[in-house]
Amino acid sequence: MKKVLFVSYKPAMGTIWVNETFRTTFGMYGEDIEPAILLMEDSVVALNENYSPEKMGLLPIKTVHRFIKRYETEVYAVKEDMEERKVKVGEDWDVKEISKEELPDFVHEFDFVIFM
């Protein structure tokens, strides 16, 4: 099974990049691929408890949580980016924090890394 990491680093609010990262990840479930998600830079804002992409006509965050939980998708976030943006992680997220120092070794654990 191939391990693929989808990385979102674009601003969360006012763009579709975080949402498309989730949607693309969910499209991998039927393939012989083990997807994971890494949120960094401004994309970590999507972990905030009051994040509501459905207000912009995007995939509802409740749907995101349901798929992530059902398929046990790993979600990672850069610790320093979360601290800098004062992200208060919503209770439905099971996020693993990665420090910037750990990133080079972390991304090398995957067969493919796709930046979105």
Q: What pLDDT score does 13 carry?
A: 59
Tens of each residue's pLDDT in the chain, 116 residues: 899 999 998 766 556 788 889 888 988 888 889 999 999 998 898 888 888 878 777 788 888 889 999 999 999 999 999 999 999 998 889 999 999 999 999 999 999 999 98
Query: What's the pLDDT at 92?
Result: 86
- Indicate yes or no: pTM above 0.85: yes
Contact 70, 62 (CB under 8 A): no
Task: Note whether 28 and 116 are within 8 A (CB).
Answer: no
Residues 6+ apart with CB under 8 A from 45: 11, 12, 13, 51, 85, 87
Question: According to the CATH classification, is domain 2-115 in 3.30.70.100?
Answer: no
Give residue 40's identity as a one-letter amino acid code. M
d(CA 32, CA 47): 27
